[in-house]
């Protein structure tokens, strides 16, 4: 397991400012003022996300860095539970885990809730272990929200975005047939591949 790592707030701000200066808006897409968009281009269709840079700057910056580096290209939704969530961003289609950067700070205490359509950082039982993997809630999972910082369950899972387009694609993914692969459960029989992730600059006032 990677050692715990917390990004200094000044570094996050600098990285995000660099992103805003360098990103471009794709034709036909409009980003909400202040927050970037991400488009997950998957083998089952596109999923558009608004990333909450205002309330989850560390998680948002982390996701953007992975996306812009091409890390997510060719990863899959490797854990699909139809009445819970779909999780991806860490494994290839042959169930090989990609080496990720050090963990980031858990931002679950940002006031955002794990409601249907929100996107949150996946982690292990260690509250401060999130790296590249994320999940999309397919129903209200408020039991995953921050309660306190006294333990793994209390910390919850940090929401950093929401689906703003392509929820029908999410709902198609949530009902795919799954199987067990080695020690993994709920793996889609036919891989649902994230072909690429496109980041779109916020609209300027």
* Domain boundaries defined on the chain: 9-200
pTM for the model: 0.84
pLDDT digits (tens, 9 = 90+) for 102-150: 999 999 999 999 999 999 999 999 999 999 999 999 999 999 999 998 8
- What's the confidence (pLDDT) of residue 202? 76
Q: What are 88-92's contacts with CB under 8 Å, separation 24+? A: 88/133, 88/134, 88/135, 88/192, 88/194, 89/122, 89/132, 89/133, 89/134, 89/194, 90/122, 90/131, 90/132, 90/133
- Residue 35 phi, psi dihedral angles, 5° rounding: -120, 140
Please check the confidence at residue 27 and state whether its pLDDT lies above 50: no
CB atoms within 10 A of CB 190: 11
Mean pLDDT, the chain, whole residue set: 87
Please check the confidence at residue 29 and state whether its pLDDT lies above 80: no
CA angle centred on 198, ends 56 and 174, rounded to 5°? 75
- Residue 14 phi, psi dihedral angles, 5° rounding: -65, -45
CA 156 to chain centroid: 15
Tell me the average pLDDT across 40-64. 98
Radius of gyration of the chain (CA): 16
Tell me the average pLDDT across 180-198. 96
Q: pLDDT class for 33, splitting at 50, 70, 90?
A: low
> Which CATH number does the domain 9-200 belong to among 3.20.20.70, 2.40.10.480, 3.40.50.2300, 2.40.100.10?
2.40.100.10
């Amino acid at each position: 397991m990677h050692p715990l790592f917390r990004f200094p707030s000044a570094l996050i701000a600098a990285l995000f400012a660099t992103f805003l200066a360098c990103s471009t808006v794709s034709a036909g897409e409009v980003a909400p003022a202040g927050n970037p968009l991400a488009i997950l281009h998957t083998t089952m269709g596109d999923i558009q996300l608004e990333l909450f840079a205002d309330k989850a700057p560390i998680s948002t910056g982390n996701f953007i860095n992975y996306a812009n580096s091409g890390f997510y290209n060719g990863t899959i939704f490797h854990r699909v539970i139809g009445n819970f969530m779909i999780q991806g961003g860490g494994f290839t289609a042959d169930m090989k885990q990609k080496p990720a950067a050090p963990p980031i700070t858990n931002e679950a205490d940002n006031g955002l809730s794990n409601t249907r359509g929100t996107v949150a950082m996946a982690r292990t039982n260690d509250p401060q272990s999130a790296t590249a993997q994320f999940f999309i809630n397919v129903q209200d999972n408020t039991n995953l929200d921050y309660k306190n910082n006294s333990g793994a369950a209390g910390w919850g899972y940090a929401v950093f975005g929401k689906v703003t387009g392509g929820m029908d694609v999410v709902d198609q993914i949530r009902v795919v047939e799954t199987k067990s692969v080695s020690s993994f459960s709920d793996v889609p029989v036919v891989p649902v591949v994230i072909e690429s992730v496109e980041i779109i600059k916020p609209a300027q006032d």
